[in-house]
């Protein structure tokens, strides 16, 4: 579109291009000058090569799968979220001590719920400046001494404690909380203790840590909240009577209420590209292919299988990560075949996969052990019995397997033990000669037969021996 306007030094022409840019052309007697006054819209998106787009997709989605961001509002646990938030607010703002347990199976979202509540809580200025957080984990803080050191470190009180010697755990903890009191010493700063794998703290000697934390929360010595996370429903039965009596018995139960349709939409959302992706055209094509994938019956069947076995998002992200790894320049979209292959890898039997990398000698020893298992009805055996069975096979049936010397066979046997395909019996004495130490085979009939079928260039004699061994 052109618009001509007379000027003092010449005629001014205004042009609007397809991108919304406004070009002003100033015509003078000597020359024509082009001046870009303004641009109402961004210039058209630059198109990346397929390789660059695939690299961007891999980087973006891998970051999403590995570092899952907290949702703005946790789905399906609104009431639990509200309950926990109100409870911690009473400690953080009003100085009321509390204790609560979050109970649910692994992957149900216990940590996600707690982190969402803490994030929302810390957005308030009054709370952010005043409240202290201490995170403990039963897998890391395996006794009370280590736990107390970690509490001191997280509260930044190492210099205050110094070289002081305390008579008991309770005195030490009381001193730490006393050190947190404000300048007028009238009130202490609220502390939120989160205890992940709460049930493991019950195995500490005399449950001293739990007793002291819950005792402080009940006696109002200092405003603290104790939040335990556990997957054990019987966790209260693990507590001593004195500990149990000081616990508030508040429990927040988490079960995964999400249906398959929500699971499917989550998978689609996780694989979709955002609107600000550098190449808009590629992003549109990618998102259209993801939509088609989620509507495909075979892909839906794979996702339903995983949903039925495990509803948590960690296993879903693992499946999608393996699917994404099959996206290349020659295959720039996700196909249902990629999802199927990823599912096969997720559900693959790790021990059966180890069998594919064994030597023929090691495979023969495995078959000999299974033969002994059948003969002696699952009773343990020793190397000498396995070696005798292997020698019988060599002498009677096989012309394709080399007759190895005994030291070589022992080495192969020890390698199988290192791979944990066979396990020494607990009662087997370490003083016994290694040829006579009792062991047990950790494989079953199906795993061995599947490995033989897939084993490259496996001698026919060995396959026939394996089949005869299983009758």
Q: Is 38 in a helix, a strand, or coil? A: strand
| 224 backbone φψ class: left, alpha, beta (φ>0; ψ -120 to 50) | beta
Residue 103 has which token pair? 């109970």
pLDDT of 204 > 50? The answer is yes
Q: What is the pLDDT of residues 53-109, one digit of tens each?
A: 889 888 888 888 887 777 666 767 888 989 999 999 998 888 888 999 999 888 788
426-437 burial code (b ≥16 CB/10 A, e <16): eebeeeeeeeeb
Rounded CA gap, 137 and 454, in Å?
43
69-88 burial code (b ≥16 CB/10 A, e <16): eeeeebebbeebbeebbebb
Looking at mean pLDDT, say which of 4-13, 66-75, 135-144, 154-163 comes out highest.
Answer: 135-144
End-to-end alpha carbon distance in the chain: 88
pTM (whole model) above 0.85: no
Residue 398 has which token pair? 């096989």
Q: For residue 36, what pLDDT band results from cuts at 50, 70 and 90?
A: very low
Rounded CA gap, 262 and 173, in Å?
46
CA distances from 231 to 109, 199, 245, 246, 412 (A): 11, 8, 21, 21, 41
Q: What is the pLDDT of residues 361-397, one digit of tens each?
A: 888 888 888 888 888 887 888 888 988 888 888 887 6
Looking at mean pLDDT, say which of 102-106, 225-229, 339-343 comes out highest.
Answer: 225-229
């Amino acid at each position: 579109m052109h618009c001509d306007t007379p000027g003092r030094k010449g005629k001014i022409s205004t042009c609007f291009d397809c991108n919304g840019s406004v070009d002003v052309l100033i015509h003078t007697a000597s020359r024509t000058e082009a001046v870009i006054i303004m641009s109402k819209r961004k210039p058209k998106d630059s198109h990346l090569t397929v390789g660059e787009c695939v690299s961007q997709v891999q980087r973006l989605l891998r970051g999403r799968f590995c570092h899952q961001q907290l949702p703005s509002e946790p789905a399906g646990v609104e009431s639990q979220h509200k309950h926990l938030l109100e409870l911690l607010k009473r400690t953080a703002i009003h100085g009321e001590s509390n204790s609560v347990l979050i109970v649910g199976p692994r992957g149900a979202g216990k940590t996600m719920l707690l982190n969402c509540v803490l994030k929302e809580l810390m957005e308030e200025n009054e709370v952010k400046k005043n409240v202290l957080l201490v995170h403990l984990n039963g897998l890391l803080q395996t006794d009370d001494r280590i736990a107390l050191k970690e509490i001191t470190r997280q509260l930044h009180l190492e210099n205050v404690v110094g070289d002081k010697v305390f008579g008991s755990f309770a005195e030490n903890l009381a001193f730490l909380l006393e050190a947190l009191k404000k300048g007028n010493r009238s009130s202490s700063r609220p502390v939120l203790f989160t205890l992940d794998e709460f049930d493991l703290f019950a195995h500490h000697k005399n449950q001293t840590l739990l007793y002291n934390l819950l005792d402080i929360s009940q006696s109002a010595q200092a405003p603290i909240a104790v939040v335990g996370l556990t997957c054990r429903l019987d966790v209260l039965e693990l507590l001593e009577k004195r500990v149990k009596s000081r616990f508030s018995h508040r429990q927040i139960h988490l079960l995964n209420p999400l249906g398959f349709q929500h699971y499917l939409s989550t998978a689609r959302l996780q694989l979709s590209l955002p609107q600000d992706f550098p190449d808009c055209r590629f992003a549109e094509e990618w998102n259209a292919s993801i939509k088609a994938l989620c509507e495909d019956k075979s892909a839906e069947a794979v996702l339903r299988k995983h949903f039925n076995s495990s509803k948590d998002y960690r296993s879903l992200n693992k499946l999608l990560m393996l699917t994404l790894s099959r996206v290349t320049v020659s295959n720039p979209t996700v196909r249902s075949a990629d999802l199927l292959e990823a599912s096969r890898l997720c559900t693959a039997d790790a021990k059966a996969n180890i069998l594919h990398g064994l030597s023929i000698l090691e495979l023969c020893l495995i078959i000999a052990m299974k033969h002994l298992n059948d003969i002696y009805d699952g009773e343990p055996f020793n190397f000498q019995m396995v070696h005798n069975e292997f020698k019988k096979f060599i002498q009677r049936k096989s012309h394709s397997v080399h007759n190895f010397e005994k030291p070589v066979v022992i080495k192969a046997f020890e390698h199988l033990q290192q791979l944990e395909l066979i396990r020494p019996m607990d009662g087997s004495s370490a003083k016994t000669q290694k040829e006579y130490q009792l062991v047990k085979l950790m494989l079953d009939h199906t795993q061995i037969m599947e490995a033989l079928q897939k084993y490259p260039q496996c001698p026919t004699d060995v396959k026939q021996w394996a089949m005869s061994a299983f009758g």
